[in-house]
Chains A and B, each alone.
Chain A
Amino acid sequence: MLNLDNYKIAKNVHAYHQGDINVAYDINSGSLHVLDDLTFAILQIMKKLQSNGKVLKVQEIFSLLQGEGQNCSEEELREVLGEFGELQKEGILFSPEAEEWNPVYPERPIIKSICLHVAHDCNLRCKYCFAGTGAFGGDRGLMNIETGKKGIDFVLDASAHRKHCEVDFFGGEPLLNFQVVLELVHYGRQAAAERGKTIKFTLTTNAVLLTEEVQNFLEQEDISVVLSIDGRPEVQDQMRPYANGKGSYDQVVPRIQQFAAKRPESSPHAVGTYYYARGTYTHFNLDFDKDVDHLLELGIKQISLEPVVAKPDESYAFQKADLPKILKSYDRLGEDLLARKMKGEEFSFFHFNVALEQGPCLPKRISGCGAGHEYVAISPEGDLYPCHQFVGQEEFKMGSLWDEPIELNPHLIQAFRNAHIYKKASCRDCWARYSCSGGCHAANHAFSGKLDEVYTLGCEFQRKRLEVALYLQIKEKSLNSSYEKDSATK
């Protein structure tokens, strides 16, 4: 029998309407259900009663149902409550709150992933660049091979017993320092092999210098690639121009198309050797679903589009009135992508790829990333920062590759280790907590000045994206099962 004594429904079950279905997401188990309209109405009433401090009683729920004009009998209400009880017994609805994971870290952090800023310079001048158009507020410069090798040695040492390490080439624009990238890949593979480890390399690029030679190298060396492109020509050209103000669309798009065509089997969960096109949308293109559409029409099938994080006085920053439009754009994008799936198109929009059955464990989910204690960024000079977004911010400098020994600032390590959902007031009761995982540290800090206070607009985006993602998962499963049924009957 259903027992909701001392159970906060709103914190632990998220029920919402999306497209033509009612979805119930059981947060603690990660289970997903579709509710008929009556059940949805009952659940909403139960939540409302709880929020008013009322104890849940069948008669009161029934009376409110009738007050809403719901045409159901008390027997039907009891039927629904009975189904609730069965699912609760199975542990997949109204499931108990997950035990709070108390992370226990080794005294010495295990750094298994680094971001090498091989170039603090760039051949574009993107308007929203968090890197100050490439130089992070410092001098423009390139990382030399000695510093790069030291960075790789650092991650191989600091990863302790972890076999799999990650090295990302970043900037500025890393292809401005391609020779160093090339040498570091060869060096890294050898150095890792000598220690019985492996390095997964990835590289982010604006594609201006993504020549055939570079593409071949990336392919041959199994380097995963993130290609920065915002979408439609007018969007790309407005926000990602060259230094002379000229748009970059015409040059970068053919290169990105060419490279994307080399990797048709890219994983939707960024496993193995993949590519994806990563764009940014701003106040100037709130209808960003059209940019996703445009990229798909170009044959670019792996797409991630992120909202810009900006100071509020920037022209491209979101304004309050933008939020409803952005949410509608996610709704439209969901329907558009669903329609494409139904026609048999293959593609991936990153935020909608929720791995419901093979996703990360709960301990992983309490924090959005390992910045500052599992992952660090390294500037061309060899300075260590929690992640690429903090590079150049002096108060976040964690150490230097040239220190002997290399000891990361313990206060910063602790601060980032503590920046998980159980320490963030806004996150503890949020239904998206195990997927959003507290958001981005850099965005949170930029917005609130603190690591444990979240960027509230980011929360809105995360929740909306997750709602659409869960809806699409349901729709795709029913699409697949009807396809299997059709195939079986042929």
Chain B
Amino acid sequence: MAKHIQTIVKANLSETVKTGGCGECQSSCQSACKTSCTVGNQVCVK
């Protein structure tokens, strides 16, 4: 068990270069003045 560092989330975003890009997710809008959400807020629909 690590003494100095506590890992809260383990993720593998860079792996999704191989598995991602299907394009099915909701259209995002970075200024959120339209009705969708920003990239940072949304979830993958797969």
Binding site for B on A (CB under 8 A): 24, 28-36, 38-39, 79-80, 83-84, 86-87, 90-93, 95-99, 101, 103, 110, 112-113, 115, 130, 162, 164, 166, 168, 170, 200, 202-204, 224-226, 268-271, 278, 304, 306, 309, 350-351, 353-365, 367-370, 374-375, 387-389, 434-440, 442-443, 466, 469, 473-474, 477
Contacts and interface: CB of A to CB of B under 8 A. Distances in A.
Nearest to A39: B4
Contact of B27 (A113, A203, A438, A442): A113
Nearest to B29: A369
A92 B31 contact: no
Given A34-B8, A356-B11, 11 more contacts: A83-B5, A101-B21, A164-B24, A224-B35, A278-B33, A353-B41, A359-B43, A360-B20, A361-B44, A369-B28, A443-B30
Given A350-B32, A369-B30, A374-B23, A359 B12 contact: no
Nearest to A368: B30
Interface string B15-42: 0110111111111111111111111111
Contact of B8 (A32, A203, A269, A439): A32
Nearest to B30: A368
Given A112-B27, A436-B30, A357 B9 contact: yes
- Chain B's interface: helix, strand, loop or mixed, by majority? loop
Interface residues of B, number: 42
A440 B14 contact: no
Contact of B12 (A29, A79, A388, A437): A29
A31 B41 contact: no
Given A31-B11, A204-B35, A351-B38, A360 B44 contact: yes
B44 to A, nearest CB: 5
B33 A439 contact: no
Contact of B13 (A110, A434, A439): A434
In the A-B complex, the 6 residue pairs with the smallest Cβ-Cβ separation, listed nearest first, are A361-B20, A202-B35, A363-B21, A368-B30, A361-B16, A98-B14
A368 B28 contact: yes
